[in-house]
Structure 1
């Protein structure tokens, strides 16, 4: 791997940190960059987790200091997510990408349509939606379903978490993003433990990308807090469209 490849990967990691901190989806930048640089798909997943867990955790700390984090949701879902993502990482080689990509594309298109045609979604909190049953449902969806997906594939995990929390519990986009960061840290940890155990992590490269990811995440978290839910909504739509385009190209090109 040449110096130019490393520079591109560091820049991609910084951009991914920014995107992940705002709405999730940083894997859209990191994973393709690693693959283009010649890293094998499984090593790309493992190495990207080193960068992602560093950036996401730093963004989670920044959000927690400045806005409300739903701890009743974040703590149990975050702990469950470690196991869920670990199981997903174990299954990463067994789930055909050709089967998974179309399902993710359909889900992302549904997210884009939902956010577009419901402009009030996430703009303000709707606490009346919060019931004990809905909290349990959100914990299961985030800590099992979305966490498993993060271990298997990854890109868009933060986006799916934000949409789940705004629709199930009525959180606004900023608080949903803040809570998602804690759970996303859990999914990254679970997947990273498995990939590291299997020997699929390029540690020197991953740690270098982690530093850049933290820098991008800090900028993104502060922008999201300063600009509010309307900004997060716009970035979310842009990221969803970009992810659908990327997955469609991988599937059909």
Structure 2
């Protein structure tokens, strides 16, 4: 029964994550609820062992239908991997607790800005090209990759928002591009968890399969309905993130 519950959570997480990120909002709480006495690092390792496959499947699906700018994104992905590794190492020596109270405020600013700019992310009009686009994408990858390794909540939403706001992508292209970087940050974290022994190998296959199925369904829905749909999903996920991180920061004992 435990495996069934977390597999269903993994499927739904893959579905949400493929559209706009935020799958960790679903699978991580489910793992903590089902296995309350397990070391948190092990549960995070289980989450990453599923999500890395779902984000990879989503990336491949988007690549078939959306023009992904590989030239700037591949160096950005490499830098993102290094940033995530650095962030994961940093969290072993510095506590990320100071971010808990500020994160809901940052997400609130992202939400208000998105709601105020009705046209934000509806048109795909990249602001940079050539080396400037590569540098911008690499800066984004390094920064958010480090954040993902160090703390993590809202990583997918931050990737999408910054691709839209800073690089000028529409929400569909931003979500597709974010998936590639998210694969590398997930992989970096997973490698670290495996090296530390925080992995349940008997859970990897069923949760990964469920996550891939959910990811394929979510990707198909996003491609079918386009940027307007992804924008709406982004707003809902950010609201959910604000509620969850606010509870974690201020009300949970």
Q: TM-score, normalised by structure 2?
A: 0.93
Q: CA deviation at 1:92?
A: 3.3
CA–CA separation in structure 1 for the residues paired with 2:119 and 2:194: 42
Query: Residues 207 and 94 (structure 1 numbering): CA distance in 2 closer, same or farther, change over 3 Å?
Result: farther
Aligned to 2:29: 32
Secondary structure in structure 2 of the residue aligned to 1:251: helix
Question: Which segments of 5 or more consecutive residues in structure 2 lack a partner in the other structure?
Answer: none
Aligned 8 A contact 2:75 2:134 in 1: no
How many Å separate the matches in 2 of 1:163 and 1:241?
14
- Distance (Å, rounded) in 1 between the aligned partners of 2:21 and 2:30: 17
Aligned-pair CA distance for 1:102: 2.0
Please list the CA deviations of residues 77-126 of structure 1 after superposition, one character each: whole Å capped at 9, or x if unmatched: 11111111122222334443531222322221111111100111110112
Q: 1:183 aligns with which of 178, 181, 186?
A: 181
Q: TM-score, normalised by structure 1?
A: 0.93
Instruction: From 13, 17, 20, give the equivalent of 1:20.
Output: 17
Structure 1 position 168 matched with structure 2 position 172 = no
Does the C-alpha gap of structure 1 residues 10 and 92 become closer, same or farther in structure 2, counting only changes over 3 Å? farther
Tell me the residue number matched to 1:59. Answer: 58
Shift of 1:44: 1.6
Give the aligned partner of residue 251 of structure 1: 249
Answer yes or no: is 1:216 the counterpart of 2:203.
no
CA apart distance, 1:157: 1.4
Alpha-carbon distance in 1 for matches of 2:113, 2:72: 23
How do 1:145-156 and structure 2 match up within 5 A? Answer: 145-156=143-154
Encode CA deviations 1:126-162: one digit per residue, 9 max, x unaligned.
23x21443541331122x1111121223232121111
- Structure 2 equivalent of residue 106 of structure 1: 105
State the SS of the aligned residue for 1:125. coil
> Contact 1:135/1:169 (CA < 8 Å) preserved in 2?
no
Shift of 1:250: 1.3
Q: 1:61 to 1:134 in 2, by over 3 A?
A: closer
d(CA) in 2 for partners of 1:164 and 1:14?
Answer: 27
Deviations along 1:7-61, one digit per CA (max 9) or x if unpaired, are 2211111111011100001101111111112232211211111101000000000
Q: After TM superposition, list the pairs within 5 Å mapping 1:126-141 onto structure 2.
A: 126-127=125-126, 129-131=127-129, 132-141=131-140
In the alignment, structure 1 segments of 5+ residues that lack a partner are: none
Greater shift, 74-83 or 216-225, is seen at 74-83
Confirm or deny: 8 A CA contact 1:19 1:220 kept in the other structure: yes
Q: Which moved more, 1:204-213 or 1:191-200?
A: 204-213
Over the aligned positions, Cα root-mean-square deviation in angstroms equals: 1.5
100-109 or 212-221, which deviates more: 100-109
**CA–CA distance in structure 2, aligned partners of residues 203 and 114 of structure 1:** 42
